[in-house]
Amino acid sequence: MYKRDPIDKAFSTVTAVASISVPLLIIGILYVLFSHSSLAIERFGIIGFLVSADWNPVRESFGAAASLYGTVLTTFLALLIAIPVALGIAIFITEVAPNFLKRPIGAAIELLAAIPSIIYGMWGLFTLAPIMADYIEPTLQDAVGGLPIIGILFEGTPMGIDILTASLILSIMIIPFTASISRDAFNLTPAVIKESAYGLGATKWEVIKSVVLPYSKLGIFGGIVLSLGRALGETMAIAFVLGNNHQITTSLFDAASTITVTLANEFTEADTDIYYSSLFYLALILFILSFITLAIAKYFIVRGERNYPR
């Protein structure tokens, strides 16, 4: 009878414990969030809290709609800006740039990911926000402010501390994640496939569009999902440049609030039980939102791997 080596047994035990600790940790976090938010759940309910934009600690009336709106909007705009830029960087590094440029540019992109978020926030507040207020936002307002429907997004006085600046800061922060993972995915494309396409007379753009991108689509999507998770949970960087306005606004030049910014700014001010519980309720909503978003993304990745195996 085969007798397992004690080292193998110990190794199996350690890895099993490490694996089991992950779901236990998630369950523990969920339990703490739910228990501390139970008072707010009982008073405001689920639907009532989600659809109410009222956030008034004096009257002890709280709702998540404004913070949830700000979270979704800034994340969407950040992805809208970051994804094309990140894919362009990845394509340039893998398919266009000469060899002596690939390593320095790749290192620079990875360095962006290592910069602490508070540094981004300070840079955004003292450097980017004045540039946005004095030059970029007035130019946008003059160019498209008079257009129907679109002009609504650029109403108000450009101040630089607003949704647009926060989204731009957030996009800069998530570009390295999508760019790095997309670059690695592009590098996995077999050289023989690209050489075959070139042999058939395809141009570089045609090879990228018809060979590299389709082959790497799952890796690209994975990078976007990672960036999405980073954007949903970012706090300090956008806290500097978003303001703390608990209102739903249509203009990108207005201050707003996100769930993370509200938690960071107001946790020390929670002087009543219902105020404290409402902040935990916001944290619970963010936890569930992140979990659902990543679960849906994982579903599509698995489905794509089954339908389009490499």
The domain ranges of the chain are 6-307
DSSP code string of 95-126? IIS-HHHHHHHHHHHHHHHHS-HHHHHHHIII
Residue type, 275: Y
> How many Å is the maximal CA-CA distance in the chain?
83
Measuring CA to CA, which residue among 116, 117, 109 is closest to residue 175? 109
User: What value does the CA radius of gyration of the chain take, rounded to a whole number of Å?
Assistant: 23
Cα 267 from chain centroid (whole Å): 23
Q: Cα separation of 236 and 247, whole Å?
A: 20
For residue 231, count other CB atoms closer than 10 A to its CB: 23
Inter-residue contact 199 to 130 (CB < 8 Å): no
The CA distance from 228 to 76, in Å, is 9
pTM of the shown model: 0.89
Residue 64: predicted pLDDT: 93
> Among residues 201, 162, 184, which one has the least CA distance to residue 106?
184
* Contact indicator for 228, 75 with CB cutoff of 8 Å: yes
Rounded Cα distance between 100 and 179, Å, is 19
> Which of the four CATH numbers 1.25.40.10, 1.10.3720.10, 3.30.565.10, 3.90.79.10 does domain 6-307 have?
1.10.3720.10
Angle at 203 (CA atoms; ends 308, 101), nearest 5 degrees:
90
Give the pLDDT score at 281: 95
Question: Which neighbouring-strand residues pair with 289?
Answer: none
Q: Determine the pLDDT at residue 282.
A: 94
**pLDDT tens-place string over residues 39-57:** 999 999 999 999 998 999 9
- pLDDT < 70 stretches in the chain: 1-4, 304-310
Helices (H), the chain: 6-44, 47-51, 65-91, 99-114, 117-123, 129-131, 137-144, 163-187, 191-199, 204-207, 213-215, 217-233, 236-242, 259-266, 273-307
